[in-house]
Amino acid sequence: MIPASPGADRSTDSYLPAHGNGGYRVLHYDLDLDYKVATNRLAGKAVITARAVQQLSRLTLDLGRFRVQEVRVDGRPAKFEHRPNKIKIRPERPIGYGATFKIEIRYAGKPVPISGRWGDIGWDELTDGALVASQPIGSPSWFPCNDRPDDKATFLVSVTTASAYTVVVTGDPVARRRGVGTTTWVYERNEPTAPYLMSVQVGRYDLIQLAPGRVVQRAAVPPRLRTVFRHDFGRHGEIMIALERIFGPYPFQEYVVVVADDDLDDPIEAQGMAVFGRNHLDGRRTHERLAVHELAHQWFGNSLTVADWRHIWLNEGFATYTEWLWSAASGGLSVDAHAAQWYAWVATHPANIAVADPGVDRMFDTVVYKRGALALHALRARIGEASFFALLRSWVAEHRHRTVTTEQFREHAARFAAKPLDDLFNAWLDRPALPPLPRMALRPPNIW
């Protein structure tokens, strides 16, 4: 047994204190993975570069149910203890405050999702392939990490698997090397990225262009679904243009949509990527709002990442409101109509959630999504069109690739208001009681 030491297991996330470590910050992950689809077996080597923010005689990483074969710190063998979801490491020598160090871990086994109050999350087998859906606790299901949303790092990920399969990783493709019956796919993620936003998709996919335009937009789609996909995602180029005009430039180099050849309950958000199930294609664009929602997360959630899970409305409220903006701009229901509909829906539910701190059990509750969007609608009605959209663009630009909190947003919004906004935010974010819905004839945003 390796006894714990101060900082060894301590996280700063108020909702998920067992995940992550507060004693260091990760700078870079270098992951070399070998995956066998038929047996669902993953072998990996992870080299993690980190900086100590306190003196460390011990530290931890999050990792699921693998067999850890070796741990080294700065090239020297380190003692370790691995229990499900956590590796406790004792370096041969203490790591000084401010020092940069490297942890090398070799591990292997059958990747399985991490079980939690939201179900099983992480690496999951498909009928013929695999996907990763890590929000909020699934990253340790496939690589050792400091699993907290505020510890953003860069990534280099290599995945080797049978050549019959296509591999898509959240990142920019940099190499593809063929071996004897296998192919190695290499992706680089240069923008700071939270572990939960990294993803791997393995399947029998065709790689096709999603839409032309300034932003590279690609798709990985089962060959038999290409025609229906072309129709259902046929306006994606227009959606990208619209969101760039509202929020500012798309924050990454490319965007990839993956359609798994399995049914999925909900689309999956990742950095520079969204994953849909085959059930999200029906030839009628029924689920186009979900495509808008997931693309909006590239600004709200991925470039701007919550510093703590209690601020989740900054992701989901903004993405939901973006659905309403697109609806109004593309000839669907107006924002006012969406707001009225969802206000009536929220009013039928018990008023027992504070949007700014919903609690760990309810942070993905639909009320948080819809009432978060309604809070933005109320803010827009209060400060006016020009100020509201200027606020959104500057919020995105000033916090690009950083972490954010509700308090930061409130302070930012105050700069665009002639009068204090405390009463508005207290009513919509801090108190469970539902305040009156402001009603006004709002024009669709000028995004064309």
- Cα–Cα distance for residue pair 30/381, rounded to 1 Å: 47
Contact 221, 164 (CB under 8 A): no
Per-residue pLDDT, 2? 39
Domain boundary among 155, 170, 202: 202
Of the candidates 165, 294, 321, 343, the residue annotated as catalytic is 294
Domain count, the chain: 3
Same domain, 293 and 310: no
- Cα–Cα distance for residue pair 124/40, rounded to 1 Å: 9
Of the candidates 35, 107, 196, 369, the residue annotated as catalytic is 369
> Does some domain include residue 444?
no
Per-residue pLDDT, 6? 45
Q: List CB contacts of 411: < 8 A, sequence separation 6 or more.
A: none
Q: List CB contacts of 222: < 8 A, sequence separation 6 or more.
A: 203, 204, 205, 206, 259, 261, 278
pTM (2 d.p.): 0.95
> Does some domain include residue 387?
yes
Domain boundary among 229, 264, 297: 297
Same domain, 68 and 150: yes
- Cα–Cα distance for residue pair 112/121, rounded to 1 Å: 9
DSSP labels for 82-113? EETTEEEEE-SSPBPTT-EEEEEEEEEE---P
Per-residue pLDDT, 179? 93
Tokens of 311: 């601020």
Same domain, 28 and 158: yes
CATH code: domain of residue 212: 3.30.2010.30
Same domain, 332 and 209: no
Per-residue pLDDT, 331? 94
Q: Which residue has the tokens 């260091």?
A: 24
CA distances, 119 to each of 135, 311, 342, 446 (Å): 11, 21, 27, 41
Per-residue pLDDT, 84? 83
Q: What are the residue ranges in the chain where pLDDT is below 70?
A: 1-11, 440-448
Q: Is 293 marked within a binding site?
A: yes
Same domain, 233 and 92: no
> Does some domain include residue 447?
no
> Is 196 annotated in the active site?
no
Same domain, 150 and 210: no
In the sheet that holds 67-73, the strands lie side by side as: 76-77, 67-73, 100-109, 41-52, 24-36, 153-162, 182-193, 172-178
- Cα–Cα distance for residue pair 140/65, rounded to 1 Å: 9
Q: Is 254 marked within a binding site?
A: no
> Does some domain include residue 443?
no
CATH code: domain of residue 96: 2.60.40.1730
Per-residue pLDDT, 1? 36
> Is 294 annotated in the active site?
yes
> Does some domain include residue 11?
yes
Same domain, 247 and 287: yes
> Does some domain include residue 121?
yes
Q: Is 297 marked within a binding site?
A: yes
Same domain, 67 and 177: yes
Structural domain harbouring 227: 205-297
> Does some domain include residue 209?
yes
Peptide bond into 84 cis (omega under 30): no
Same domain, 58 and 158: yes
Same domain, 272 and 409: no
> Does some domain include residue 149?
yes
Per-residue pLDDT, 411? 98
Same domain, 403 and 415: yes
Same domain, 195 and 213: no
